[in-house]
Amino acid sequence: MPFDWELVDGRIVVKGQPRLWHNDVRDGIADALKAARTKPCRVLSEQCVMVDEQNVVKPDVIVFDPRNLDYFEVECIPTSHLTLVVEVVSPVSRQVDRVSKHEYWLNADTLTYIPAPIHPVHHGKLITELPFPVEIDLAALVGF
């Protein structure tokens, strides 16, 4: 079975092969973000992110500002360049996805990050203005 890994809180966390629905949802979200993006933002799937020396993660989708990055040399996108990070929560990785990785929201008024609510809140549609206006019909994307 193929696998990948992340460094979470200084521990190597082995990630198994994602299920078909996970990849379909991930790609659908990435496609919607790519279609809505404005310059200079770029969208990538499964790109390494260097949070700090104890945390190197590979979110499902990221939106980032590529300016001042050496595209030919950079391996992990620094958090200072991120504008949106998406993690598709899988039943087999729910603990790591929701607890160990943590979730923060950008407060649009103060432009500071705040802890997200404890329970998932993205149902039906994901609508956001940051980093650019986008609306994603999650129910249609998931298909049930």
Q: Is 50 a domain residue?
A: yes
**55 lies in a domain?**
yes
Strands of the sheet containing 42-45, edge to edge, are 42-45, 61-64, 82-86
Task: Judge whether 41 lies within some domain.
Answer: yes
Residue 114 lies in a domain: no
Average pLDDT over the chain, rounded to an integer: 82
In a domain, 73, yes or no: yes
Residue 27 is part of which domain span? 3-103
Confidence of residue 60 (pLDDT cuts 50, 70, 90): very high
pLDDT tens per residue across span 23-47: 999 999 999 999 999 999 999 999 9
pLDDT at 122 over 70: no
Any domain includes 134: no
98 belongs to a structural domain: yes
Looking up tokens 């939106």 gives 63
Task: State which of 23-27, 32-36, 77-81, 130-134 shows the largest mean pLDDT.
Answer: 32-36
Residue 40 within a domain: yes
| Residue 6: predicted pLDDT | 77
DSSP string, 66-77: -TT--TTT-SSE
Q: Domain tally for the chain?
A: 1
**pLDDT at position 115:** 73
- pTM of the model as a whole: 0.80
